[in-house]
Amino acid sequence: MTVLDGKRPNIVAYICSRERPSDAQSAKIRDFIARENGAEVSVVWEEHREIGDGFRIEFGEDGRRDKVYDWTLAGKSRKLKADISTALKGRRNVMPLIRQAVGGWEPEPVADEIGTVISVGDGIAVVDGLGSAGYGEILLFDSGIRGMALDLREDDIGCVLFGDSSEVKEGSTVLRSGRVAGMPVGEAYIGRTVNALGEPIDGKGSIAEEDWYPIESPAPAIIDRKPVSRPLETGLLAVDSMFPIGRGQRELIIGDRQTGKTALAVDTILNQKGRGVICIYAAIGQKGSSVAQLADVLAKRGAMDYTVIVSSTASEAATMQYITPYAACALGEYFMRRGKDVLIVYDDLSKHAVAYRALSLLLGRSPGREAYPGDVFYLHSRLLERSAQLADRLGGGSMTALPIVETQAGDVAAYIPTNIISITDGQLFLESDLFHSGQRPAVNIGLSVSRVGGAAQAPAMKKAAGSIRLDLAQYREIEVFTQFASDLDELTKRQLRYGHGLMQLLRQPQYHPYSRHAQVILLTAALDHAFEDAEPGEIAHLAAKLIAAAEAELPDICAAIDGSGTIADSDRKSISALARRCVSPAEPAE
Q: Could you tell me the CA-to-CA distances from 555 to 459, 528, 561 in Å, in that order?
A: 19, 21, 10
H/E element holding 555?
helix 555-563
CA atoms within 13 Å, Cβ hemisphere of 383: 28
- Contacts made by residues 88-91, CB under 8 angstroms, sequence distance 24+: 89/211, 89/212
Secondary structure class of 28 (helix, strand, coil): helix
| Residue 398 neighbours by CB under 8 Å, 6+ apart | 230, 247, 248, 336, 341, 342, 388, 389, 390
Other Cβ atoms within 10 Å of 275 Cβ, number: 11
Q: Sheet harboring 11-17: ordered strands across?
A: 2-3, 41-47, 11-17, 56-61, 67-70
**How many CB atoms are closer than 10 A to CB 187?**
14
- Edge-to-edge order in the sheet of strand 252-255: 193-194, 307-313, 277-286, 341-347, 398-406, 252-255, 426-430, 449-450
The residues annotated as belonging to the active site are 451
Q: How far apart are CA 548 and CA 514, in angstroms?
A: 12
CA atoms 419, 421, 424, 425: torsion sign: negative
Q: Which of 291, 278, 288, 378 is nearest to 326 (CA)?
A: 378
The secondary element (H helix, E strand) that includes residue 488 is none
Instruction: Extract the runs of DSSP E, i.e. beta strands, from 202-271.
Output: 211-214, 252-255
